[in-house]
C-alpha cells in the first residue's frame, strides 16, 4: 500500500524523520542520492532509530548500543558494541537486518510503499 508521508523539504539532506505510514512506524532518511525508509526500532534492543545518527551518508547508528545498519538495504554493517560487555547480550540477540521500504518523491511530496 502507498502512503503519503510529508513534503520532501521537511527532511534536509543528511537528516532523518520518524513518522508513521498506516500501522507501520518508520524513519525516513535523506541521503545524497535520495530518500529511504527503515523500520523505526533497532533490531537489537528496539531503541528508536529516529534518534539515531546518520554515518558516512549510508548507515544509521543506533543511539543505545551503536549498532549500524545500511540505510539503503537494512543490512547490518556493525553489530552492537557499546558499552563494553554488551557483546554478551549479542549471543542472545543475534544480528538481524532492518526492514526497508521504497520511498518516492513526486511534486515535492514523499511517498512510501509498504
pLDDT per position as a tens digit, 7-18: 999 999 999 999
Provide the pLDDT confidence category of residue 89 given band limits of 50, 70 and 90.
low
CATH code for the domain of 94? 2.102.10.10
In the predicted model, is pLDDT for residue 81 greater than 90? no
Query: 6 is written with which cell numbers?
Result: 510529508
Residues 80/66, Cβ–Cβ less than 8 Å: yes
Where is pLDDT greater, at 38 or 82? Answer: 38
Residues 6/109, Cβ–Cβ less than 8 Å: yes
pLDDT per position as a tens digit, 16-73: 999 999 999 999 999 999 999 999 999 988 999 999 999 999 999 999 989 999 999 9
pLDDT score, position 52: 97
Total domain count, the chain: 1
pLDDT score, position 83: 74
Domain coverage including residue 90: 2-113
Provide the terminal-to-terminal Cα distance of the chain, rounded to the nearest Å.
5
In the predicted model, is pLDDT for residue 82 greater than 90? no
Residues 13/32, Cβ–Cβ less than 8 Å: yes
pLDDT score, position 44: 87
User: Given the C-alpha cell 510529508, which residue does it identify?
Assistant: 6
Distance, CA of 92 to CA of 44 (rounded, Å) = 10
Query: 9 is written with which cell numbers?
Result: 523539504
Amino acid at each position: 500500500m502507498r502512503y503519503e508521508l510529508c513534503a520532501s523539504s521537511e527532511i534536509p539532506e543528511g537528516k532523518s524523520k520518524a513518522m508513521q505510514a498506516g500501522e507501520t512506524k518508520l524513519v525516513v532518511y535523506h541521503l545524497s542520492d535520495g530518500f529511504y525508509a527503515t523500520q523505526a526500532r533497532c533490531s537489537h534492543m528496539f531503541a528508536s532509530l529516529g534518534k539515531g545518527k546518520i554515518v558516512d551518508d549510508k548507515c544509521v547508528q543506533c543511539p543505545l548500543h551503536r549498532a549500524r545498519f545500511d540505510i539503503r538495504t537494512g543490512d547490518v554493517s556493525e553489530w552492537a558494541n557499546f558499552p563494553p560487555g554488551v557483546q554478551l547480550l549479542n549471543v542472545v540477540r543475534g544480528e538481524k537486518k532492518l526492514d526497508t521500504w521504497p520511498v518516492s518523491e513526486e511534486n515535492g511530496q514523499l511517498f512510501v510503499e509498504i
